[in-house]
Structure formats: structure tokens, C-alpha cells
């Protein structure tokens, strides 16, 4: 081993000990700690590579099972956006909920003493997921990122859950491999890393690999796909930290001598038993026609733009659409790209009934905190997801957490839409409080912020929409600015008909 390698190993030693200790803890308990998740700084590939490989490059083909659920919350010092699948089996969904809850609880506990200098400097937790089916086996992969202004770079990590769809039982390494499989896996994984253009330079030190392979639980993070087993390895375990979380794909043919599960069963194409009714028609364009109503907006009469973030959520969004339809009102829905594939019918209804469908990014990441590749994935990924269901792509974007900077203004190819009336519905979760916030503050030309993922917001709209329609034209953001003679332009930020920056 040369002097350079020795120095690199010494510099990494302390961090590596922490990462290896974490694996044992994870095997011993279901409750996970963000401090013990072997967080990794992702390597910085090109934008195209990031879109294909990055920690949040979740495309619809990697969401093979389940309906998306989201937990999104904003507090004074922290915020989180956590997405996970609902599989339709009580045991599996309980395990997922417990794991997701532990992500959030530990994040809030660890940041309990943090004080954000401003709302744009909140500590933020973002969790997105992939889900795969291999015969009766369902795998869920969580991609986790945490950031706060005190960190030089966001911390990222990965966790996996694997279930037998027939009974919802959680499965582990011992359920899939048999015999003296570890030496074989070590050889196969090592060969993969040494042959990979992405990893080969980091895998040049055989002693470092050997030390990592000797750790308990080294193969405990994995997902089963139709083609084989995908392994995830914590940062510093097998490669230097710059390589982030290495991902290694091994085919079933390569693993056949050591598989404890029938390979034919893993590669059968029938839907998993308890998921038969929960698969989403993702990645396909819907034939949607907008209803032609001959709608006219009178520029001389008062008008407001009701806007809804973070959806769609069928039971909430549907109620709001019903109320709007009763009064002939229109609204603007700033949707998350990672949710629309699960609910294309709701998105299609929004568009067909004359509402404006706009972007709230792909998975609700704070854009000023994104690197180049993540930024592109958040903006372009949302546009593509929406465009796969509706004709064309969105004409506006609302930045998550209301956070934007000069780079955001320069790079987002849409006007940025903010608000002038914040109902704080996400905070109060109280219909009466939302109603009061609107009644006390709304006036002609306002943009009102609400969120169509909270049932209490729909409760408020049961009263508000009919009430507001008596005094105001309920218009989309696009209609508001058209009526006021103000063009919507990329690079500008719109707060109301009175305030544009």
C-alpha cells in the first residue's frame, strides 16, 4: 500500500468506525436514527448523470408498487417533506409507517435546539422512495437527505425494507441467501466495483474492501428487482466517502447457487398478491380535454386566486374541486411531480375543469439548497411527470418553502408564484382558523396560499369558496395576471396583482 493510500485511510478511519457501528444497531432495532444512517455526501456527476443516478432521481419506472403518501410540515426552525408508499397490507404498511415516523422523530429531536435565522434557513429533511416487485417480494428503498445552514453539504443516506406480499412479513438477508454465500457476494461485489467506471478508482485498495466486507451486516441493505438483487453500501464502508452510497446490481443468474428463494418465483410477472389493486398507471399520457365553458373574467370586478400546494390527494383535492365547481370558480394547483403518477385521474380532472396545474417541484426540495443535478431533477422532473399526464407542461412554479434566490430565478424556466395571503393551514390544521385568516386579510388581486393535503383545508373550503364567490371572481393565477394586464415571465416573482419583483 502506498503512502497516499495510508494517509487517505487514516483520514477516513474515525468516520468509518461510526458507519460500521451503525450497521449493527440497524440490525438490532427497527427504529432508525438519522445520526446512525451512514449518511453520505453524494458524488457530483454531471447533470445528465445526476438525473439518471442521483439520490433523488426517482422516476416512475422505479415506483412499481403502492400509492404515494406524503408527510409535509413546516415549523419555525425545521421543515420536512417525506414521501412513502401505501402498499395495501396492514403489516407492511405499519412497518413502513414506523420507519418513516422514526426518520421524522429523530430529525426533530436532533434539531430541537436549532434556531433558524430566517424561514429560508430552516433545517430540512427530505425523504423520497423507490419500490420494486420481484414475484411475491416487494422492496422499498428510502433516499434520505438532511440539511441545515451549519452543514457544508447536505447529508444523504439510504434505507431499505423488503416484504413478502403474501403476508406482509418483513424479510432480511437470511431469507434470500443460503450456504456460505458471503465469500461469493464479496467476490461478485468487488468485481462489480472494480469493473465500474463510476467506482473502479475507489476500489483499487483491496485491503480497504476486505475490511469493509468483514463487517457485520454489510449486505443488509438491498432490494429485489425483476432482474436481480440491488445492494446499497453505506459511505466509507467499501469505498472512499467521495463515492457516496455505492449501488451494486447482481443478476439472479450470478447469485443462483446461493439463492434460498426460487428464482422462477422471483421473476414471474404476476402482480404481488396484496398489491393487485394498488398499482398506479404511471408514466403514460392521459387523453384529457379541457372543458370549454366560454369563461370570461371581468377586469373591472374584484378577483382573487386561490392556490393549493403539495397535492394531489384524492379525498381532499376532490372535495375542493367539488366546491369550486358549484360556484363556477377556478383555482391553481401547485402539484408535486412525485405524486401525480399515483393520482392521474385527479390531475386530469383539475385540468379538464379549467383549473391551472402548475409545478411545486418533483419532491419538495428547497431549490437554493440543490446542486446542479438535483436542481434539474426537481424542476425538469416535475415538468415531465405532469407532461406525461396532461397536454403540454406547466407554465408556473411555486418554490417549496417559498425559498428562492438569484440562481432559482435565473434557472427556473417558469415565473415563480408566491402569495400575499398565507392561511397557515399547514400549521393550524383547523378549519375555523383558515377561514378567519382569509376573511381578515383577503382583498382584490390577492393570491391565497393553502394546501390540498390537509382534510381541514377542505373543511374550510366548504365554507370559504361559496362565501368568497359572492364578492370575488375566483380565478387562476394565469387569469389574474391576464386580467390585470401583467405578463407572466420567467425570472420574475409574483406575490399578488399588486406586487411583482
State yes or no: pLDDT of 455 exceeds 90: yes
Split at pLDDT 50, 70, 90, the class of 155 is confident
pLDDT at 478: 96
State yes or no: pLDDT of 381 exceeds 60: yes
Identify the helix (H) or strand (E) that includes residue 306: strand 303-309
Highest mean pLDDT of the ranges 10-19, 75-84, 97-106: 97-106
Site of grid cell 420494486 = 132
- CA atoms in the 13 A half-sphere facing the CB of 234: 28
Mean pLDDT of 399-419: 97
Split at pLDDT 50, 70, 90, the class of 17 is very low
454 is catalytic: no
Give me the DSSP letters along 157-177.
EEEEEEEETTTTEEE-HHHHB
Split at pLDDT 50, 70, 90, the class of 157 is confident
Mean pLDDT of 235-252: 89
Of the candidates 85, 129, 78, 87, the one whose C-alpha atom is nearest the C-alpha of residue 106 is: 78
Three-state secondary-structure class, residue 342: coil
pLDDT at 269: 61
State yes or no: pLDDT of 50 exceeds 50: no
State yes or no: pLDDT of 226 exceeds 80: yes
C-alpha 90/C-alpha 424 separation (Å) is 33
Per-residue pLDDT reduced to its tens digit, 332-380: 999 999 999 889 999 999 999 999 999 999 999 999 989 999 999 999 9
Three-state secondary-structure class, residue 431: helix
Q: Of 309, 383, 425, 446, which residue is the catalytic one?
A: 309
Mean pLDDT of 1-9: 39
Split at pLDDT 50, 70, 90, the class of 94 is very high
C-alpha 448/C-alpha 446 separation (Å) is 6
C-alpha 312/C-alpha 330 separation (Å) is 16
Lowest mean pLDDT among 61-75, 252-266, 285-299, 436-450: 285-299
pLDDT at 16: 39
Identify the helix (H) or strand (E) that includes residue 6: helix 3-28
State yes or no: pLDDT of 196 exceeds 90: yes
C-alpha 36/C-alpha 235 separation (Å) is 12
C-alpha 229/C-alpha 49 separation (Å) is 22
State yes or no: pLDDT of 445 exceeds 70: yes
Distance of CA 444 to the CA centre of its chain: 35
459 is catalytic: no
C-alpha 309/C-alpha 452 separation (Å) is 6
Of the candidates 322, 404, 394, the one whose C-alpha atom is nearest the C-alpha of residue 370 is: 404
pLDDT at 244: 84
Split at pLDDT 50, 70, 90, the class of 7 is very low
C-alpha 161/C-alpha 170 separation (Å) is 7
Instruction: Judge residue 463's burial from the number of C-beta atoms within 10 Å of its C-beta, 0-12 exposed, 13-18 middle, 19 or more buried.
Output: middle
- Answer whether 321's CB lies under 8 Å from 347's CB: no
Per-residue pLDDT reduced to its tens digit, 78-93: 999 999 999 999 999 9
pLDDT at 25: 35
Q: How far is CA 22 from CA 102, 208, 287, in A?
A: 15, 18, 49
Which residues lie below 8 Å from residue 15, measured CB to CB, with a gap of 6+?
236, 241
pTM of the complete model: 0.72
C-alpha 64/C-alpha 60 separation (Å) is 7
Q: Of 364, 451, 454, 459, which residue is the catalytic one?
A: 451
- Answer whether 223's CB lies under 8 Å from 284's CB: no
Cell numbers describing residue 172: 432480511
- Summary mean pLDDT of the chain: 84
Please report the domains of the chain, with CATH numbers, ordered by start residue: 3-275 (3.30.565.40), 303-494 (3.20.20.370)
Higher-pLDDT residue of 7, 79: 79
C-alpha 189/C-alpha 193 separation (Å) is 6
State yes or no: pLDDT of 274 exceeds 80: no
Mode of pairing for the β-strands spanning 222-224 and 228-232: antiparallel
Compute φ and ψ for 421, nearest 5 degrees: -125, 115
Amino acid at each position: 500500500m502506498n503512502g497516499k493510500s495510508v494517509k487517505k485511510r487514516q483520514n477516513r478511519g474515525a468516520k468509518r468506525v461510526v458507519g460500521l457501528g451503525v450497521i449493527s444497531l440497524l440490525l438490532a432495532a427497527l427504529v432508525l436514527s438519522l445520526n446512525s444512517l451512514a449518511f453520505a455526501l453524494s458524488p457530483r456527476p454531471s447533470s445528465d448523470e445526476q438525473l439518471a443516478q442521483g439520490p433523488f432521481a426517482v422516476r416512475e419506472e422505479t415506483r412499481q408498487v403502492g400509492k404515494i403518501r406524503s408527510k409535509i410540515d413546516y415549523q419555525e426552525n425545521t421543515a420536512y417533506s417525506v414521501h412513502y408508499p401505501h402498499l395495501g397490507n396492514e403489516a407492511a404498511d405499519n412497518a413502513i409507517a414506523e420507519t418513516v415516523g422514526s426518520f421524522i422523530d429523530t430529525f426533530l429531536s436532533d434539531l430541537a435546539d436549532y434556531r433558524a435565522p430566517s424561514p429560508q434557513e430552516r433545517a430540512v429533511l427530505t425523504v423520497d422512495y423507490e419500490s420494486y416487485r420481484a414475484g411475491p417480494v416487494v422492496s422499498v428503498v428510502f433516499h434520505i437527505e438532511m440539511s441545515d445552514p451549519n452543514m457544508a453539504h447536505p447529508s444523504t443516506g439510504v434505507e431499505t425494507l423488503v416484504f413478502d406480499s403474501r403476508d406482509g412479513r418483513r424479510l432480511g438477508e437470511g431469507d434470500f441467501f443460503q450456504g456460505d454465500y458471503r465469500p461469493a457476494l464479496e467476490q461478485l461485489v468487488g468485481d462489480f466495483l472494480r469493473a465500474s467506471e463510476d467506482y473502479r478508482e475507489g476500489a483499487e485498495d483491496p485491503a480497504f474492501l476486505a475490511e469493509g466486507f468483514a463487517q457485520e451486516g454489510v449486505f443488509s441493505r438491498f432490494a429485489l428487482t425483476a432482474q436481480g438483487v440491488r445492494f446499497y453500501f453505506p459511505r466509507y464502508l467499501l469505498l472512499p466517502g467521495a463515492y457516496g452510497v455505492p449501488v451494486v446490481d447482481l443478476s439472479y443468474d450470478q447469485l443462483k447457487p446461493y439463492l434460498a428463494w426460487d428464482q422462477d418465483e422471483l421473476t414471474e410477472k404476476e402482480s404481488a398478491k396484496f398489491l393487485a389493486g394498488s398499482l398506479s398507471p404511471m408514466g403514460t399520457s392521459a387523453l384529457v380535454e379541457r372543458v370549454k365553458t366560454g369563461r370570461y373574467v371581468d377586469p373591472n370586478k374584484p378577483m382573487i386566486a386561490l392556490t393549493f400546494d403539495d397535492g394531489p390527494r384524492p379525498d381532499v383535492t376532490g372535495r375542493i374541486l367539488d366546491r369550486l365547481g358549484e360556484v363556477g370558480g377556478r383555482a391553481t394547483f401547485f402539484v408535486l411531480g412525485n405524486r401525480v403518477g399515483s393520482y392521474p385521474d385527479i390531475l386530469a380532472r383539475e385540468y379538464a375543469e379549467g383549473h391551472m396545474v402548475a409545478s411545486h417541484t418533483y419532491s419538495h426540495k428547497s431549490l437554493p439548497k440543490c446542486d446542479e443535478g438535483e436542481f434539474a431533477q426537481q424542476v425538469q422532473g416535475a415538468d415531465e411527470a405532469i407532461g406525461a399526464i396532461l397536454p403540454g407542461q406547466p407554465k408556473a412554479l411555486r418554490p417549496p418553502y417559498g425559498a428562492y434566490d438569484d440562481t432559482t430565478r435565473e434557472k427556473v424556466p417558469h415565473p415563480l408564484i408566491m402569495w400575499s395571503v398565507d392561511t397557515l393551514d399547514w400549521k393550524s390544521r383547523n378549519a375555523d382558523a383558515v377561514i378567519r385568516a382569509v376573511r381578515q386579510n383577503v382583498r382584490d388581486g390577492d393570491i391565497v396560499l393553502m394546501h390540498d393535503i390537509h382534510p381541514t383545508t377542505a373543511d374550510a373550503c366548504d365554507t370559504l369558496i361559496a362565501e368568497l364567490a359572492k364578492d370575488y371572481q375566483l380565478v387562476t393565477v394565469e387569469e389574474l395576471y391576464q386580467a390585470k394586464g401583467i405578463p407572466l415571465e420567467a425570472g420574475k416573482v409574483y406575490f399578488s396583482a399588486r406586487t411583482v419583483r
